[in-house]
């Protein structure tokens, strides 16, 4: 049974707050323009008939107001902006109408709340997202360097890019024009500083993941192929409480469920929704690409043979597959199976995305080519 009497909707901005209070018992309404100072908001809320339930939308202002009110005994909720049901015919949008809508949604219990992270979780999430920003900055800095060289007809052909050999080649480049040389040195310096910033963030994440409340979760996730410390720690701090999800509901949280438009007897499904936690979805997709590679022999210990698939540069999970399994080899049943007469690979080979690596096994080399019988000219199908 609900015990709240007054429901308060707050439209919170960086420099102003608009409040709309609705008495659920008498129907009386109070409206007020407030400052962003949490103490000012608390004084106004405390003067309303209690118990009071306050709600506002999640946004760039963070959860400081929520924590301030909860610490002083005021019930507060933070709503998901994508789940607020707005009237389709309403073409007028103001701060006062938004606050009124929030108050009415609280009254009818249609206010969809978000899970407010703790201070520790939010700090760890900021660190993980700072590393994500550094990854994007590094990609753009490298593009500027390589594309500037490409515009001047300089292309590296000495092997893998962004290695020590490639870095020595980059530092040896010189231009006749002083302006172009200065621009190149500026782009190269930006790339070097970004690499240093990324490495420092990686070291900080490794240290925090080794001794914090998320360490058990990170270690369990690290048992999965394709997930390293960076990916496991990122998923742990982004998802938080895993018990609030099930196998069928976590997909919607990260936006990996298909869109659907069904009516009557027709059902149409499209691409994934991409609605939800963007960072967690990127980590899962990139880990899946590493997991989709050819698997090794499950009965052998790690590092006894085989070669690892080449990881994607700049990935947060590159350490997860290096020397971990005997990837690149077909499993024992697949190597001993008889070749299929219509396929170069045995019928028992596991199916998976991407191309299979070239094989030099004896079964594959000795399989005879299949030639179809040639029909007489009069029996050939018309083209």
Residue after which a domain boundary falls, among 177, 212, 247:
212
Residue after which a domain boundary falls, among 168, 192, 212:
212
Q: Which residue has the higher pLDDT, 336 or 170?
A: 170
Q: Tell me, yes or no, whether 131 and 65 share the same domain.
A: no
102 inside domain: yes
Q: Tell me, yes or no, whether 200 and 125 share the same domain.
A: yes
Q: Is the pLDDT of residue 139 over 90?
A: yes
The band of 309, judged by pLDDT with boundaries at 50, 70 and 90, is very low
Q: Tell me, yes or no, whether 25 and 86 share the same domain.
A: yes
Q: Is the pLDDT of residue 339 over 60?
A: no
Q: Tell me, yes or no, whether 78 and 127 share the same domain.
A: no
The band of 331, judged by pLDDT with boundaries at 50, 70 and 90, is very low
220 inside domain: no
Q: Tell me, yes or no, whether 16 and 99 share the same domain.
A: yes
Q: Tell me, yes or no, whether 14 and 48 share the same domain.
A: yes
Mean pLDDT computed over 168-176: 95
Mean pLDDT computed over 228-248: 90
User: Could you identify the residue written with the tokens 């995305």?
Assistant: 353
The band of 326, judged by pLDDT with boundaries at 50, 70 and 90, is very low
Residue 310: the pLDDT is: 52
DSSP state of 292: T
The band of 351, judged by pLDDT with boundaries at 50, 70 and 90, is very low
How many domains would you assign to the chain? Answer: 2
User: Other C-beta atoms within 10 Å of 114: how many?
Assistant: 16
Mean pLDDT computed over 76-101: 89
229 inside domain: no
Q: Tell me, yes or no, whether 124 and 148 share the same domain.
A: yes
Rg (CA), the chain: 29
Helices 278-291 and 119-151: angle between axes, nearest 10 degrees:
70
The band of 363, judged by pLDDT with boundaries at 50, 70 and 90, is very low
280 inside domain: no
Domain extent for 189:
119-212
Residue 263 has, within 13 A of its CA and on its CB side, a CA count of 1
CB-based contact 58:114 (threshold 8 Å):
yes
DSSP state of 38: H
Most trustworthy range by pLDDT among 117-126, 310-319, 347-356: 117-126
Q: Tell me, yes or no, whether 99 and 144 share the same domain.
A: no
285 inside domain: no
Mean pLDDT computed over 316-329: 47
The lowest-confidence range among 13-17, 81-85, 136-140, 350-354 is: 350-354
CB-based contact 327:310 (threshold 8 Å):
no
Q: Is the pLDDT of residue 354 over 50?
A: no
Provide the token pair at 353.
């995305």
For 52-85, the pLDDT digits (tens) are 999 999 999 999 999 999 999 999 999 999 888 7
Helical segments of 211-256, H only: 215-221, 229-239, 250-253
Q: Which residue has the higher pLDDT, 108 or 247?
A: 108
For 24-36, the pLDDT digits (tens) are 889 899 999 999 9
CB-based contact 63:117 (threshold 8 Å):
yes
Pairing of strands 17-23, 52-57: unpaired
The band of 17, judged by pLDDT with boundaries at 50, 70 and 90, is very high
Which CATH number goes with the domain that contains 89?
A: 3.30.420
CA distance 191 to 200: 14
Q: Tell me, yes or no, whether 81 and 141 share the same domain.
A: no
297 inside domain: no
- Average pLDDT value over all residues in the chain: 81
Helices 229-239 and 119-151: angle between axes, nearest 10 degrees:
130
65 inside domain: yes
User: Other C-beta atoms within 10 Å of 344: how many?
Assistant: 14
Residue after which a domain boundary falls, among 107, 137, 155:
107
Integer CA distances (angstroms), 297 to 145, 301, 302, 303, 355, in order: 42, 9, 10, 11, 19
350 inside domain: no
């Amino acid at each position: 049974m609900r015990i709240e009497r007054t429901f308060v909707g707050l439209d919170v901005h960086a420099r102003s707050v608009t409040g709309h209070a609705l008495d659920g018992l008498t129907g009386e309404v109070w409206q007020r323009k407030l400052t962003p100072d949490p103490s000012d908001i608390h004084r106004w809320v405390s003067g309303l008939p209690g118990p009071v339930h306050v709600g506002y939308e999640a946004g760039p202002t963070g959860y400081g107001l929520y924590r301030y009110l909860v610490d002083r005994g005021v019930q507060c909720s933070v709503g998901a902006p994508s789940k607020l049901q707005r009237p389709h015919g309403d073409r007028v949008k103001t701060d006062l109408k938004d606050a009124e809508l929030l108050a009415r949604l609280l009254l009818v219990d249609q206010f969809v709340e978000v899970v407010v992270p703790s201070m520790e979780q939010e700090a760890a999430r900021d660190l993980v997202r700072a590393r994500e920003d550094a990854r994007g900055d590094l990609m753009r800095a490298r593009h500027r360097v390589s594309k500037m060289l490409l515009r001047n007809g300089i292309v590296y052909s000495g092997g893998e890019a962004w290695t020590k050999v490639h870095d020595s080649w980059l530092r040896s480049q010189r231009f006749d024009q002083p302006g172009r040389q200065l621009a190149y040195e500026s782009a190269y310096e930006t790339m070097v500083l970004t690499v240093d910033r990324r490495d420092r963030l990686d070291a900080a994440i490794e240290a925090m993941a080794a001794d914090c409340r998320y360490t058990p979760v990170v270690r369990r996730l690290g048992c999965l192929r394709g997930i390293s410390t960076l990916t496991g720690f990122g998923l742990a701090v982004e998802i938080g409480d895993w018990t609030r999800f099930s196998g069928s509901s976590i997909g919607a949280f990260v936006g990996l469920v298909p869109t659907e438009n069904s009516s009557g007897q027709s059902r149409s499904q499209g691409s994934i929704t991409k609605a939800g936690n963007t960072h967690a979805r990127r980590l899962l997709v990139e880990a899946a690409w590493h997991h989709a590679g050819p698997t090794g022999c499950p009965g052998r210990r790690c590092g006894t043979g085989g070669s690892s698939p080449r990881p994607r540069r700049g990935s947060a999970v590159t350490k997860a597959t290096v020397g971990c399994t005997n990837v690149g080899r077909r499993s024992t049943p697949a190597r001993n199976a008889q070749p299929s007469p219509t396929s170069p690979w045995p019928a028992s080979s596991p199916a998976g995305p991407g191309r299979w690596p070239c094989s030099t096994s004896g079964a594959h080399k000795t399989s005879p080519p299949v030639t179809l019988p040639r029909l007489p000219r009069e029996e050939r199908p018309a083209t």
